[in-house]
Structure 1
Amino acid sequence: MSAIPDKHIVHALLLDGAGGAQALDVDEIPARIAAGEPVWVHLEAVHPDTPQWLGQHLPILDALMIDALVAEETRPRAIEHDNTILLFLRGVNLNENAEPEDMVSIRMCIGEKFCVSLRRRPLKAVSDIVQRLQRGNGPGAIPDLVNDLAGTLFDRMEPVLSELDERTDNLEELVADKPDAAIRHEIVSLRKRAILLRRYLAPQRDAIGRLRTMPHTWLDDRHRRHLYEHYDQLTRFVEDLDAVRER
């Protein structure tokens, strides 16, 4: 069992609208959110203080929503609630000594001017966005942040899925030339990996498709075009995994 993190807030950043961000002290966060400033707070879902923090600072969330955000297991989906969106996504596991198909979740409560995201395990895509903000070439607004997080999440999947597809092709050529039980066993193992990845990527595609059609005015045509590209990318991933699985 993983150790409980020391703090429930991983980071709190105020976007400056020009690709950078300012780190916020814990005490500053509520006032900044209340003032409608573009704030991104990243929380530890496993920390015992997190549910209370969510209930206190995001009163739009009811107990069921808070439970969903901190749940041990989540499936990708997008949920509308007034002018707020709950978005649950998964990324390949690129942590040390981990299997990529043991996918890592990110849970988000998104409004026009705030994004509160939660993790149970570190996700490289989040670190990528933080580093971009530190360099001054990150997202300028909350909808851009959500799009960039999703896009980075999916781009990091591409090499993993390409390697899976290429490895399967190579093994099938080998087994066609020289039937071998060990090679067949590895092909079966690769198919199982494809099944595990598809388990989350198919509903993830549907979640992005649903997000793209939600009628929130703060998701403009540019954001929706990017979401369509993400949807198309995930559709291709699912089709590629189906091809591996059905060989």
Structure 2
Amino acid sequence: MKLFPTAYSEPGTKPGTLADVKNGHYSLHMMSYTPASLTERPEIEPAACYSFIKDSDITWIHVQGAPDSATLRTLSQAFDIHELYLEDILNTGHRAKLEVNEVHAFVILSLPRFENKQIVTEQVCLFLSDHTVVSFCTGELDPFLLVRERIRKPTSKHRHRGGDYLAYTLIDTIVDHAFPVVETLAEDIQVLEDKLLEKPEKAIVQEIYFLMRQLLLLRRRLWPQRDIVSQLQRDDNLELLADDTRIYLRDCYDHCVNITELLETYHEIASGMLDIYLSNATHRLNEVMRVLTVISVLFIPPTFLVGVYGMNFDPGASSLNMPELASPYGYLFVWIAIVGMMGGMLIYFRKKRWF
């Protein structure tokens, strides 16, 4: 994930400025339905969408990819979308937010997914009015394919509920897309734990740091969504949502809380793994230093002994000048003394369990 994912207009430009995305591609899908009928247009021109809006129908228009400014302006005129909302749609990477007025509600959420073993977050914008839902999702993969399958069934709840239930379904789908990502992160943590306990290597630090970075950035993108869902279910002034739909939003809020708590827990586990690695590295260093210290201490008495007998005093000059140098067994006695001292210290160190 990028540290700075937010796109923005050049400083100094007027609010609502729309800059076309380079090499942008998009698709537009429309569904208009009642309990008895369904009209679906997989590829439809933006200008033709308005003709399907009826008071008795629920109309859902989904824009997948990076639409150009002309498409956004056409949809803006058809569905009365404010120019500031269009700017938010075009400049991706925004923090999750909710804006409500008397007739409209505008929601921005983040949808995480894996791409080439990297976590990427797509921005999803929802524009809700009385009978119409307009959704925008960045990226090439459409996350709402299963929602369309449910709408195509005449017995589904969507065909008998209003646009607020459709909006809830889209929000719930966005939130639930985080569970496979979190599950994959949990598996990565388990693999790193096994590596850390079996054979801690220096390369594992990079993997742990990369995992902590992903968890932290993902938490930053998903944490505000729990506040958005909570506001949707609790805001009594939001008349676009029916009371029975708010009950479903409570379940969606529980999912948001569960995801954020899992991310916090995994981040703490990853931080603990880093501490374990550092502790193991310190312990290994202490073990090496202890062995080297024991070896150094073993050679201190022999070093002192051979230093004494290396002073080269002449025994013939005085009877006090190292008379043992004239002994035929002096060399042997020195070795016996050296081996005895070193052996005695080894036995002592062993009893003390110093190595």
Cα distance in structure 1, aligned partners of 2:257 and 2:231: 14
Quick check: 2:113–2:178 contact (8 Å CA) kept in 1? Answer: no
Cα distance in structure 2, aligned partners of 1:209 and 1:104: 21
Gaps of 5+ in 1: none
Q: Which residue of 1 aligns with 2:112?
A: 92
User: What is the CA deviation profile of residues 163-186 of structure 1, one whole-angstrom value per residue up to 9, with x for unaligned ones?
Assistant: 212321342243134322222321
Shift of 1:105: 1.1
Cα distance in structure 2, aligned partners of 1:216 and 1:117: 19
Question: Cα distance 1:45–1:177, how it changes in 2: closer, same or farther (>3 A)?
Answer: closer
Shift of 1:222: 2.3
Cα distance in structure 2, aligned partners of 1:23 and 1:98: 35
Residue 145 in structure 1 maps to residue 166 in structure 2: yes
Q: Which residue of 2 aligns with 1:16?
A: 34
Compute the TM-score of the two structures, normalised by the length of structure 1.
Answer: 0.85
> What is the aligned counterpart of 2:180 among 148, 153, 159?
159
What is the SS of the residue equivalent to 1:152?
helix
Q: Which residue of 1 aligns with 2:71?
A: 50
Quick check: 1:90–1:106 contact (8 Å CA) kept in 2? Answer: yes
Shift of 1:110: 0.3
> What is the aligned counterpart of 1:33 among 53, 57, 69?
53
Question: Cα distance 1:196–1:208, how it changes in 2: closer, same or farther (>3 A)?
Answer: same
Q: Which residue of 2 aligns with 1:108?
A: 126
Compute the TM-score of the two structures, normalised by the length of structure 2.
Answer: 0.61
Gaps of 5+ in 2: 1-20, 270-355
Quick check: 1:129–1:138 contact (8 Å CA) kept in 2? Answer: no
> What is the aligned counterpart of 1:134 among 152, 161, 166?
152
Cα distance in structure 2, aligned partners of 1:122 and 1:146: 21
Shift of 1:9: 5.5
Cα distance in structure 1, aligned partners of 2:24 and 2:185: 34
Cα distance in structure 2, aligned partners of 1:168 and 1:217: 44
Cα distance in structure 2, aligned partners of 1:138 and 1:121: 28
Cα distance in structure 2, aligned partners of 1:189 and 1:200: 17
Q: Which residue of 2 aligns with 1:125?
A: 143
Match for 1:13: what amino acid?
A: M
Identity within the alignment, %: 22
Residue 211 in structure 1 maps to residue 232 in structure 2: yes
Quick check: 1:104–1:123 contact (8 Å CA) kept in 2? Answer: no
Quick check: 1:54–1:66 contact (8 Å CA) kept in 2? Answer: no
Q: Which residue of 2 aligns with 1:65?
A: 85
Cα distance in structure 2, aligned partners of 1:206 and 1:123: 26
Quick check: 2:60–2:133 contact (8 Å CA) kept in 1? Answer: yes
The aligned length equals 241
Shift of 1:28: 5.0
Cα distance in structure 2, aligned partners of 1:159 and 1:55: 34
**Greater Rg over alpha carbons, structure:** 2
Quick check: 2:32–2:60 contact (8 Å CA) kept in 1? Answer: yes
CA RMSD, aligned part only? 2.5
Q: Which residue of 2 aligns with 1:195?
A: 216
Cα distance in structure 2, aligned partners of 1:65 and 1:164: 33
> What is the aligned counterpart of 2:262 among 233, 240, 243?
240
Match for 2:88: what amino acid?
A: A
Question: Cα distance 1:82–1:98, how it changes in 2: closer, same or farther (>3 A)?
Answer: farther
Match for 2:40: what amino acid?
A: A
Q: Which residue of 1 aligns with 2:279?
A: none
Cα distance in structure 1, aligned partners of 2:180 and 2:116: 17
